[in-house]
Amino acid sequence: MKNFRLTEKEVKTLAKRYPTPFLVASLDKVEENYQFMRRHLPRAGVFYAMKANPTPEILSRLAGLGAHFDVASAGEMEILHELGVDGSQMIYANPVKDRRGLEAAQKFNVRRFTFDDPTEIPKMAEAVPGADVLVRIAVRNNKALVDLNTKFGAPVEEALDLLLTAQKAGLHAMGICFHVGSQSLSTAAYEEALLVARKLFDEAEEMGMHLTDLDIGGGFPVPDAHGLNVDLAAMMEAINKQIDRLFPDTAVWTEPGRYMCGTAVNLVTSVIGTKNRGEKPWYILDEGIYGCFSGIMYDHWTYPLHCFGKGAKKPSTFGGPSCDGIDVLYRDFMAPELKIGDNVLVTEMGAYTSVSATRFNGFYLAPTIIFEQQPEYEARITDDNEIKDKAAV
Ligand SMILES: *Cc1c(COP(=O)(O)O)cnc(C)c1O
């Protein structure tokens, strides 16, 4: 799979049409990522974890393809509701739910919930009586970029007690869920977690609780990310095979976030200032760490930077526009000489970027532009056809 990447010409024409900084999202690329997962992991239905990127057009495209959604708050449910997504297509997968979230769940008919502590049971029993609940278990994975199992997940040996207690409170014990950690590069982590879950399903059956659903969470890596050396098709197929073997009759779900749109969005930003510090050039961009580059802090991520100028490359420092010393984005990046007004392109900007951008220092949020609504999209299709026509002659 090829990542979505604007050409130099496209960057320049778009930057004439819209003031920088802005993001360009490719819905076709999101769709390709979705279909790739459906093809290689057909046993798992998709709850897209919208916290990674809640751009309405992305949500609508995914809803149209049949995706369901993982939500964590009233605000996320409201966004989906406005797009016409029914609560029955959502899982409230935040183990700790607040009052507004539970009220919204009741209002929008969200039926499916996860939890990892007994204190959640009376909250759910009161607000959403009879709801379907899945207990989230803690699993191990030392090959994930972001470990979620220090904060989330009940100890495995407490999981069935939690489901029994939920059942006694009038909730419907539906299944088990886990999350191996984000940007997981290990198939083994999923396989081990599946084995643990199988054991719990069997023990539940012996206790008279028939579990029907298993949710294997998110964590799938951004495909072809910078320096990533993982065969995603093989990873998904191995997991699918293990699901077939261990859970032939169970409804299985996954909650991909970063995987779905990480590669589908580009940032176009411009140089607004330059300086020379000890022979080393500095470039100040109009987007920084308090904006879409927030993922450098929150998501431990680096984004591929592309400069278009010609000439000898020098180790250069790139900073954002804010008045904070922490707002440095790249150090010793080999860049050609750039001038004020030059555009630079940043790819793989789709997950955990714009959604955690702030208006620190009063800078405006970078808007997201949809590539498929731009003339450049039509031009690409025409160019493709011309190439095919020529090949046919
Ligand atoms: C964040 C989150 C996800 C998505 O994680 P990714 O690593 O982006 O795939 C899925 N499920 C839950 C419960 C989450 O909190």
pLDDT digits (tens, 9 = 90+) for 190-239: 999 999 999 999 999 999 999 999 999 999 998 876 666 788 999 999 99
Indicate which residue's Cα is closest to atom 5 of ligand 1. Answer: 218
Query: Which atom of ligand 1 lies closest to the CA of 182?
Result: 7
CA 14 – ligand 1 centroid, Å: 32
**Shortest CA distance to 124 belongs to which of 165, 83, 166?**
166
pLDDT, residue 141, reads 73
Gap from CA of 66 to ligand 1 centroid (Å):
19
Confidence of residue 149 (pLDDT cuts 50, 70, 90): confident
Active site residue 261: no
Residue 50 has pLDDT above 60, yes or no: yes
Smallest CA separation from ligand 1 atom 10, residue:
218
Question: Which of 255, 263, 353, 355 gets mutated to test ligand 1 (max ligand atoms within 8 A of its CB)?
Answer: 255
Distance CA 136, CA 115 (A): 6
Average pLDDT over residues 324-343: 97
- Check pocket membership of 138 for ligand 1, CB cut-off 6 A: no
Q: How confident is the model at residue 391 (pLDDT cuts 50, 70, 90)?
A: low
CA-to-CA distance for 345 and 292, rounded, in angstroms?
13
What integer pLDDT is reported at residue 242 of this predicted model? 97
Average pLDDT, the chain: 94
Task: Give residue-wise pLDDT tens across range 250-276.
Answer: 999 999 999 999 999 999 999 999 999
- pLDDT score recorded for residue 301: 87
> 148: pLDDT confidence band, cut at 50, 70 and 90?
confident
Please give the biggest Cα pair distance in the chain.
73
Q: What is the pLDDT of residue 131?
A: 98
Ligand 1 midpoint to CA 138 (Å): 14
Atom 8 of ligand 1: nearest residue by CA position: 257
C-alpha closest to that of 57 among 91, 34, 25: 25
Q: What is the 3-state secondary structure (H, E, C) of the chain?
A: CCCCCCCHHHHHHHHHHCCCCEEEECHHHHHHHHHHHHHHCCCEEEEEEHHHCCCHHHHHHHHHCCCEEEECCHHHHHHHHHCCCCHHHEEECCCCCCHHHHHHHHHHCCCEEEECCCCHHHHHHHHCCCCEEEEEECCCCCCEEECCCCCCCECHHHHHHHHHHHHHCCCEEEEEECCCCEEECCHHHHHHHHHHHHHHHHHHHHCCCCCCEEECCCCCCCCCCCCCCCCHHHHHHHHHHHHHHHCCCCEEEECCCHHHHHHHEEEEEEEEEEEEECCEEEEEECCCCCCHHHHHHHCCCCCCEEECCCCCCEEEEEECCCCCCCCEEEEEEEECCCCCCCEEEECCCCCCCHHHCCCHHHCCCCCEEEHHHCHHHHHHHHHHHHHHHHHHC
**pTM attached to this predicted model:** 0.95
* Contact predicate 387/334, CB 8 Å: no
The total number of residues written for the chain in this structure: 393
Does residue 291's CB lie within 6 angstroms of at least one atom of ligand 1? no
Which of ligand 1's atoms lies nearest the C-alpha of 148? 15
Encode pLDDT of 277-327 as tens digits: 888 999 999 999 999 999 998 888 889 999 998 889 999 999 999 999 999
Is the distance from the beta carbon of residue 258 to the nearest atom of ligand 1 less than 6 Å? yes
From the alpha carbon of 136, which atom of ligand 1 is closest? 13
pLDDT in tens, 104-124: 999 999 999 999 999 999 999
Q: With 80 as the cut, is the pLDDT of residue 385 above it?
A: no
SS3 for 70-117 is EECCHHHHHHHHHCCCCHHHEEECCCCCCHHHHHHHHHHCCCEEEECC
Question: 256 CA distance to ligand 1 centroid (A)?
Answer: 6
218 lines ligand 1 (CB under 6 A): yes
pLDDT at 393: 52
User: Is residue 316 within 8 Å of residue 332, measured between CB atoms?
Assistant: yes
CA gap 84, 79 in Å, rounded: 9
Any atom of ligand 1 within 6 Å of the Cβ of 49: yes
- Cis-peptide into 129, omega within 30 deg: no
**Confidence (pLDDT) at 392:** 57
Kindly give, in sequence order, each residue whose CB lies less than 8 Å from that of residue 198, ignoring residues fewer than 6 positions away: 246, 247
Task: Tell whether ligand 1 has an atom less than 6 A from the beta carbon of residue 93.
Answer: yes
The encoded tokens of residue 265 equal 């969005």
Torsion, Cα 192 196 197 202, to 10 degrees, reads 140
Angle, in degrees to the nearest 10, between helices 232-246 and 187-206 = 10
The predicted-structure confidence for 68-100, as pLDDT tens digits, reads as follows 999 999 999 999 999 999 999 999 999 999 999
Q: Exposure of 312 by Cβ count < 10 A (0-12 exposed, 13-18 middle, 19+ buried)?
A: exposed
Q: Which atom of ligand 1 lies nearest, measured to the CA of 52?
A: 8
Q: Check pLDDT > 70 for residue 182.
A: yes
Q: Is 217 in the pocket of ligand 1 (CB under 6 A)?
A: yes
Catalytic option among 177, 292, 307, 323: 323
User: What's the 241 CA to ligand 1 centre distance in angstroms?
Assistant: 22
257 CB within 6 A, ligand 1: yes
Contact between 51 and 84 (Cβ < 8 Å): no
CA of 377 to the centre of ligand 1 (A): 31
Question: What is residue 309's predicted lDDT score, i.e. its pLDDT?
Answer: 85
> What is the 298 CA–ligand 1 centroid distance (Å)?
14
136 lines ligand 1 (CB under 6 A): no
What long-range pairs does 190-194 form, CB within 8 A, spacing at least 24?
A: 190/216, 190/219, 190/239, 190/242, 191/238, 191/239, 191/242, 192/139, 192/140, 193/137, 193/139, 194/239, 194/242, 194/243, 194/246, 194/247
At 202 the pLDDT is 98
To test the pocket of ligand 1, the residue of 135, 148, 263 to mutate (highest count of ligand atoms within 8 Å of its CB) is 148
